[in-house]
Structure formats: structure tokens, C-alpha cells
Structure 1
């Protein structure tokens, strides 16, 4: 193919189909590979798969060519994801590396940051994560207490972060810190790119109720960063964080154009699993069970169409960026619904079934049911965004909106 020839989506699809069959292992539906993110071996395998995609010419499909991607439209990514269904994919790299952190750097980073970090991620050489939430902050991201003090050409970071997804496996993190304590809380923040193994970073893993240790907490003790670690502008970190949250809500809702493959808990495939579960548990002829499976299928159909419609409207400018909160909120509601339906169908098998995937996994998944309503900001925050930014309803009152942060009372 000459450089001037334009490969159609169908030509790309057929090339991907041939390449996948020859170069990537298929997933055994009876014994799929682990995808918890808890094990170093999983991450090494994900990186190896990403390197394989890159070598084959199927990595970074929607990222610009100048930063290591292919520079193609979302239709090409969708075609590849459809063809890759049933094959091993580096799913662990989808969130937060490719769907959140890399797009944020693409939108807000310097040319040096884009060329270094986007290319490294696309090649499978670098994992990017987020250092955002803090022990005292709750859902108030702008209330961060982690501080960054200027010392000549360097910045010195002190503070703590928590609930950092997969941070233990990462190389760099987008870290939000306060650089001006006399400005109102949204206007005194700066975003930094922090090397996770920097001296002074103490990273610890958190064990969750479902046994996972994917989440981490970090403590910063005089962590020194160079001046070019700033993403965006000094004291304009909220602009960067807002864009980052836009990508996170898009990713959580299932609308990111930068991810390849679908996870085992994709709510859009749940109804298919429920048909098999109903048959396995001898309930396929039960009218109530059939209604539950139908309800899951209906939500799946609506979710697929909602993602396409909202993503296209935001891309064209018909809807503003906060509209991605619609798919983020619907994802949470759909995930809750599927979790509840799965548990009802599994019954006692959800707590006493065979070890491994299947009904018992539905019981374990129920323990972390709340996660869907928290990732990318809480569902309550999504409703606020929808009401204020889309429906133009009055903004929620905030007593500290224009008050210097040094005068704001906080638990820290």
C-alpha cells in the first residue's frame, strides 16, 4: 500500500482479522485469563500484548501519528475492537492509561510530554496512572491538601493521595497539588507528571472487601520534580483536572475512542451471560427470570445507542463536554442493575458455588457493587453536572467558592 492510499475501515478490519488470527491467542471462555490487576505477571503480560499490537501496527489507533499513533478515526478503533473480541487484549492498560491519562496529556501536555509519554505508552513501555483523590477530600477534588512548593527550578511535593487505581504497576502519575494557598481552591492548583519511583514516594496497596489489592495510597515526603513536570500552566491545574475528569467519565461510561478490547465485566455483554446462567441454574422457563434477562438486554441496547449518540454529539459540538456524564451515569445504573440481576439469578451459588468464574464470581462482584457509582466522580456529581451544565439549572451553593483556600476550613 502506498503512503497516499487511504485504507478503508473494511480493509483495516480485514487486515486486523488476519493479523489477530496469526499473532494473538484466543481467550478460553471456560478459563479466561485473570484480569484483576492484582498480580505483577498480569501487568507484564499486558505490556507484552501492547508491544505486540504496536509491532503489528494496531496500537494507538486514534492517537496522532506524530506521537506514535495511527491517526485514524473512531470507526477504525471500533472495527478493531469488534475483531479483537475473543482474543487476549491488554485490557489492564485501557483504564487509566489509554482512556484517561494519555488523552489528558494529548489535550493539555507540552510537546515534550506528548512525544515522550504518549509514544512510550503506545509502545507498551510505560503505564500512566492518576494521583487525584485524597484521604480528607472525599468527592471534593478541588480541596486537595497535597502541596507543591517552588524551589528554584524544581518543585517539592508533600502530602498524600488515595484510591489510586493500579498505581503499584505504573511508571508515571498525573498528580494534582496546591501551589497557591491564597487563591480560591479551584485557582491555586497545578498538575504534575510524577515518576512513581521518585525518592520520597511511599506507595502502599489497599486490600478491599472483595480481596483485591489493586487500589493504592501514596505518601509524598519532599518529592522533587523538575520544572518541566508541570502539565498545562502553574495554578491552572483545575483546567487540566477538568479535562482529565471528562476523559474519566467517558471511559467509565464506555465511550472512549482510545481503548482496545472489552473487559469480562462489560455490561453490554451481561445479558448474554444471564441467558446461560438461567439455563445453568434451571430457571430458563421461569417467567420472572425471563423478565429480568429481558430487562438486562434492554439496558444493554439502550447503553450501546446512548454511547454512540452522546459521543458523536460531543465530537460534533452538538452537545458540550459535560454531556459525557450522561453515559457515565447510565453506566453506573446499568452496572448496578446487572449486579443485582446476576445475584438474584445465581442465588445460593453466588456464595457457595464452584470456585472460579461463574455464579461465585457474581457474589464476589456484588461486594464491590458501589464502585460503578464512584469511578469518574460519584453518580451524585454526575447528576449535578447534568442539571447545571446541560439543563442550565441553578448551581449548587458553595460557601467556599471565592474564598482564599488558606481561609477555608477543612479536616486536614
Structure 2
């Protein structure tokens, strides 16, 4: 029996004994307890370096975990940003002190992270952000606003992208910081989506003080740090295996069609076959990306391929559900809730979060297909000379 096969059997047995019953994503105590149990059992940070508390294993072990975990609805959502985006970026660019301070508590489930990039006037064009970080005697002072921030209502720390030099062009005057989300001057307000949930937040910073060692990477090198994190983000979003309980998963949609007695109709069978094929192709693509990343090849623009394919798959699954269930697909019951209706109404966000589909197509066209760059009149122009909203 190979090591990977043994690992699978042991993990399968551990999940069978320790996976909790499905519960609300807002149960932070349950999420932290399960993350701590994962870490203690050696299933957190599977490919992360051992010196920061990871397991130092290859991508084939991470794939085994993804396969087996998909059989359950595990309470890991609050740690998605930290484990998939902020943590890997600190692994890449953080100082030894930052790595030893922030990564072990993240793996243990002690601390939750969020990503602070988007602003009301800087979504797809995040380099147009206006949140400012100004040098102070002992560090930095931050003023500004962020929006559409996932998990900020629970976060202990965030990866903040702020403008530190408005006299540079917009891409070269940015810096990434670690920010304490409980610091004086940080205000978090929830934002509801059309499903009635509040997964996003608006955050304001009013003279928030940061220490000098809060910088991730280089001062005014924040665009490189942002691109690094966005690469991890797109791989995370694109490659994330949904639980078998996800109502837009092929197995769930097929079961719905069977329960409604429409799985025998040729048109429905063709749609189900295409849904299965799209899921499988995306899964195999992401396995390859993880293997190449572990071999030292950064995901780069390939992360945009997976992210775009995942967003398109989500929308296609909604179309299939609409054909299978008709208007009932979006039916809502306030007392019992409806997972299918939530999934359907939340689906449009898949083409926006982490960069719109249009942005992903532009990245793929320019960086993979070698197409000419789109014309831009703001390249090389100091940010303070651009008419971007109301300059602070």
C-alpha cells in the first residue's frame, strides 16, 4: 500500500469520526474547534512548510484531503481567506518574524483573516484605490474605506492594500500591510446580498496606527504583493471542491432531477451530462495547477483560467437547475430557509468576487495567449494627477 493510499485511509477514518454535523457558517466557535482539531491531527497546512506548523507534504496529499473532505459539509468557511490567500502570501513574502507570528495561529484556528483590497471606486481596477497609509514617527497611519470584504465581521487580522506614495503611478505607489481588525479606528459594517445573508462588509479606517513591521514585502511594492495574493485567491476560488451537499453540485442536481421525475427527458439528460463534464474538466485542471505550483511554478495567469471556469460552471449549474426545477429553483421559505434558493441567488457573485469574468478574460488574453495589452492612458502618470473619484 502506497503512502498516499495509507494517508487516504487514515484521513477517511478521521473524518468519519470527527466531522461535525452540518451547522450554520456563522458558528465561529464550531469552526475554530474543528480547525484546531484538523491542526492537531496533521491535516491543516498540508503543503505548508514545517517550520510554520505545516506538514510539508506534496500536492497529491492536498488532493486526497480535497477529495475526502468534499464528502462532508465541514465548518471551515471562516478560514477560507486566511488559509487560501493571506497565509500563502505571507509564506511567499512575509518576514521570518511575520511567518512565525501569524501562520501557526492561523493553522490552529486561533485567528481569522480577511483581505482588504476592493473599494467603492476600485473594484476590478484595484490599483485605483484611495485608502492612504502615511508614515508616522513609529510606523504608519491609515485612513480610508474598503468594501465587499468577506469574513471581516469575524476577522482578527487583514491583509490591507493602501496607497503610500501618490506621486508614483497608481500601480507602483501601493504597499501591503498586516492590520489588526480590532485596532482603534477600524469599523466594520455588514452588507446584505439578495439572499438575505450578510457575507460581505464595508470597513472604514479612521487614523488607524500600524507599526513599522506591518509591511508585507517592500514599501511601494504592494502591487507585486497584491498580484501574488490574487494568484492564490484565483487558484483557491477556482479549485475549491464544493461539498456533496452543495445544491449546485452535479450529484445534487441529478438527484433533484430524479426526484422530480425529469431525469428521463433527453434535454435534461444532455444538460446533466454537460454539467458533469464541466465539473470533471475543472477538477482535473486544478489538480494539474496544484501539482505545478508545488513543483515551483507559480500559478500566475493560470489561476485566472480556473477562476473563470469556476464562475462559468456556477452560472451553468444555475441554468441547469432552472431547467430541472423551473420557478421552484428560486422559491423561498422564510421559516425553513432554502439552500437551493440561496445558491441560485448567490451565484452571480461568482463572476464578480476575486475579479470579474471580464478581468479574467483580459488576463488570459494578454498573459497566456499573448494578445496586445488594452490601451491605458494612466500608465506612467502620478496617481495624484489622475481624476479617480475624490482624491484624499
Give RMSD over aligned pairs: 2.2
- Specify the alignment match of 2:60 in structure 1: 75
- Specify the alignment match of 1:338 in structure 2: 317
Secondary structure of 2:255's aligned partner: helix
Provide Cα deviations, 1:241-280, integer angstroms capped at 9, x if missing partner: 010110111111116xxxxx7446769x722112211111
Deviation at 1:313, TM superposition (A): 4.3
TM-score, normalization by structure 2: 0.93
Deviation at 1:153, TM superposition (A): 1.8
1:394 and 1:320, CA in 2 relative to 1: closer, same or farther beyond 3 A? Answer: farther
Q: Give the alignment partner of residue 402 of structure 1, picking from 365, 376, 380.
A: 380
Is residue 114–residue 159 contact of structure 2 (8 Å, CA) maintained in 1?
Answer: yes
- Specify the alignment match of 2:339 in structure 1: 361
Alignment of 1:12-51 (within 5 A): 12-25=7-20, 27=21, 32-35=22-25, 39=26, 42-51=27-36
Bigger mean CA offset, 340-349 vs 396-405 = 340-349
Deviation at 1:152, TM superposition (A): 1.1
What is the aligned length?
A: 389
Deviation at 1:392, TM superposition (A): 1.2
- Specify the alignment match of 2:4 in structure 1: 9
Secondary structure of 1:164's aligned partner: coil
Gaps of 5+ in 1: 1-6, 256-260
Secondary structure of 1:168's aligned partner: coil
- Specify the alignment match of 1:128 in structure 2: 113
Secondary structure of 2:340's aligned partner: helix
Q: Give the alignment partner of residue 150 of structure 2, picking from 137, 157, 165.
A: 165
Q: Give the alignment partner of residue 237 of structure 2, picking from 249, 252, 261.
A: 252
Q: State the distance in 2 between where 1:347 and 1:330 align.
A: 25
Q: State the distance in 2 between where 1:138 and 1:18 align.
A: 43
Q: Give the alignment partner of residue 350 of structure 1, picking from 304, 317, 329.
A: 329
Deviation at 1:20, TM superposition (A): 2.7
Deviation at 1:56, TM superposition (A): 1.9
Answering whether residue 364 of structure 2 is matched by residue 386 of structure 1, we say: yes
Deviation at 1:102, TM superposition (A): 0.5
Answering whether residue 176 of structure 2 is matched by residue 218 of structure 1, we say: no
- Specify the alignment match of 1:258 in structure 2: none
Q: State the distance in 2 between where 1:17 and 1:318 align.
A: 30
Secondary structure of 1:321's aligned partner: coil
- Specify the alignment match of 2:262 in structure 1: 283
Bigger mean CA offset, 282-291 vs 208-217 = 282-291
TM-score, normalization by structure 1: 0.89
1:320 and 1:274, CA in 2 relative to 1: closer, same or farther beyond 3 A? Answer: closer
Provide Cα deviations, 1:60-97, integer angstroms capped at 9, x if missing partner: 11111100111111111222333334345232145211
Is residue 90–residue 216 contact of structure 2 (8 Å, CA) maintained in 1?
Answer: yes
Q: State the distance in 2 between where 1:356 and 1:248 align.
A: 35
Is residue 115–residue 159 contact of structure 2 (8 Å, CA) maintained in 1?
Answer: yes
- Specify the alignment match of 1:273 in structure 2: 252
Q: State the distance in 2 between where 1:167 and 1:319 align.
A: 28
Provide Cα deviations, 1:224-254, integer angstroms capped at 9, x if missing partner: 0100111111111111001011011111111
Alignment of 1:31-110 (within 5 A): 32-35=22-25, 39=26, 42-110=27-95
Bigger mean CA offset, 55-64 vs 143-152 = 55-64
Deviation at 1:290, TM superposition (A): 1.2
Is residue 186–residue 206 contact of structure 2 (8 Å, CA) maintained in 1?
Answer: yes
Q: State the distance in 2 between where 1:312 and 1:394 align.
A: 30
Deviation at 1:116, TM superposition (A): 1.1
Is residue 242–residue 249 contact of structure 2 (8 Å, CA) maintained in 1?
Answer: no
Alignment of 1:185-196 (within 5 A): 185-196=170-181
Q: State the distance in 1 between where 2:308 and 2:250 align.
A: 19
Secondary structure of 1:150's aligned partner: strand
Q: State the distance in 2 between where 1:183 and 1:70 align.
A: 41
Answering whether residue 287 of structure 2 is matched by residue 308 of structure 1, we say: yes
Q: State the distance in 1 between where 2:244 and 2:28 align.
A: 16
Q: State the distance in 2 between where 1:138 and 1:185 align.
A: 14
Deviation at 1:356, TM superposition (A): 8.1
Is residue 68–residue 118 contact of structure 1 (8 Å, CA) maintained in 2?
Answer: yes
1:121 and 1:136, CA in 2 relative to 1: closer, same or farther beyond 3 A? Answer: same
1:188 and 1:318, CA in 2 relative to 1: closer, same or farther beyond 3 A? Answer: closer
Bigger mean CA offset, 72-81 vs 160-169 = 72-81
